[in-house]
Structure 1
Amino acid sequence: MSEQATVLVVDDNSDNIDVLNGILRPFYKVKAALNGELALKIANSKHKPDLILLDVMMPGMDGHEVCRRLKASPITSDIPVIFVTAKSEIEDEQIGFALGAVDYITKPVSVPIVQARVKTQIALYNQQRELENKVKARTKELENTRAQIIRRLGRAAEFKDNETGMHVIRMSYYSKFLADEINANCDWAELLFDAAPMHDIGKIGIADNILLKPDKLDESEWKEMQRHVDYGAEILGNHDSPLLSLAVEVCIYHHEKFDGSGYPHQLKGKDIPLSARIVAIADVFDALTSKRPYKDAWTVEKAFNYLDEQAGKHFDPDLIEPFKNCIEQIKEIMTEYADEHERTTYGNE
């Protein structure tokens, strides 16, 4: 027998929740939230709901804003949303569908309508996931070829920058591990895995006398160095391809810092795309734990301490613990893709 699907009911009126719970409980696992904030927290949890029944008129964060945030995040964008509301004007329905909802149920609810529409949308959701799995299986060889090309592009920037040869491979794995740990959409996590190696491709456009300068850069040189994010975006160009679009996003924003002190746009907090917040952690962690001509490799423990110190400053504090939870996978990659003549230590210095 297949596992029951989970439906999240969001309504600020507990009586309405009780009604929907009574209708759905015989067929599904039902979770409930009395406000938008709690709904987003549940939707972003490790065990995501398979469908959300969402009230529109709620105090604080209304249903439209909840839906907008769900669809804007790669972690929750694929969860189908059905609005359940007393607002039945055509304009209201248009707004809901424009935000990404799949259906619209008016109050007072009809038992057979709720059951039928929930059953239909969950079946469509499962069918979509099954089709996506089949497509993935059929295109695996193409994806592998694409991934190899992308990694070679990333390596091109490393050769110019004198970086270690396996850096882009390791940090791309770390990025995917973190994306998976926060329960991001599987397809998006795979795209991030392929896009991450191109984060510094723009360094190809930086003159050697600046890129390889052994001394501290002066102000004009530092400004030119920062332009590698713009050069990277120019190299990758504007495309409809989700992969290249994500690569451009990572390229432009991975030097932004959570406190707004990064570059090029001094973005703060969650205004920085999730992809760039993830890559920033993966990139810096690998740089710290890798041997360079000017420094020895840090231990994992020392690097983790640095991430803790920079939480809320350089890095998104909500991503640090999930990244540390990936320690066993990280260690495997550090060993499998270690640079030649380099041995990484995992314990204390």
Structure 2
Amino acid sequence: MTSIAAYAQGNLHLSDQLTLTLGGRWTKDEKEGTYTQTSSPFTQTLRAPEALTFPGISESRFTYRVSLNYKPSADVLIFANHSTGYKSGGYNSGGGTPSLSTFDGSGNLISTKRLFDRETVKNYELGIKSTWLDRALKANLTLYRMDIGGFQDRAFDGVSFIVRNAGNLRQQGFEFDTVIAPTRDFSFSASLAYLDSTFTSFTTASNLPGLTGTQDLTGKPNTFSPEWVGNFAINWTGDLGTGGMSWEANANLSLVSDQFVGTVNDNNPQSLADGYALLGARLTLYGRDDRWSLAVFARNLTDTKYRPLSVYQPLGAALGLNNTVFPGSTANRVMASEPRTFGVSGTIRF
């Protein structure tokens, strides 16, 4: 693989308050390679023999960024951005049964699932960053939209995991964060994000495990795309006596709404995880000049059970591990959530 790029960016000050930023990047990628998979008579039922020279990939792309920043005062910045990006195409190198490549009677390559095309992105942002009340209040808001073409999706065919191009994916929403600090020793911070994730075109998605063919996921969300994510924290600090020691107390709460947590986009209800909230706390003691610190902490204080990840069992049928709840479907391996955890940590600075 060879990749070369050239990049330039500059600022144009239209006035004391208005700045235009222009940037551009030209990228050229070249890839080539071979794939060989051998198999014994026994393992051919699991992995088919396959040998081919990948068709060479040579592509170039110009991407750019346009940004307009307006600063009506020292404490307020209003911005608008538009940028583009891309990821080059590539090769699938995982095993497959049957062979992921098709040849004619003369041994010429006709088609292959081992190739996937490039992915392109158009991104739009509009937002404001501001401070108020002599910097006792900070508030930032960003509205965004991403249009992804040729989304490089990780698919599962019941035996193998491959990357293939979906249609188009739209990710849009807003992000808001604020910090309220009425005194030097006390602050409250909060962030909230909303995401509308929708495949605007995806007619060849992986079918549900155990079913052949594909399915249409147009109008459905991408995996790991919860509608709502929130984080809230209280931080309190103070001095301890006259010996230069200090302390810091922190409590935090994180929220995540329902989301698909499977590694494959197939809208499987078994991969839909319920939303959850996690509560944590930390108390830290600092020595003079912060030369050392000692902390006690707790994570997931309420011992909430949640599903961070769900993965299909490759070769589930061959290994006798198919799902018993939904007969005939591939087994789901679920990552265990972190339980209620208490700990102590220390730091010494030399």
Instruction: Indicate the structure whose relative CO is greater, using CA pairs within 8 Å and at least 6 residues apart.
Output: 1
Structure having the higher Rg: 2
TM over 0.5: no
Normalized against structure 1, the TM-score is what?
A: 0.25
Q: Higher strand fraction: Structure 1 or Structure 2?
A: 2
Give the TM-score normalised by structure 2: 0.25
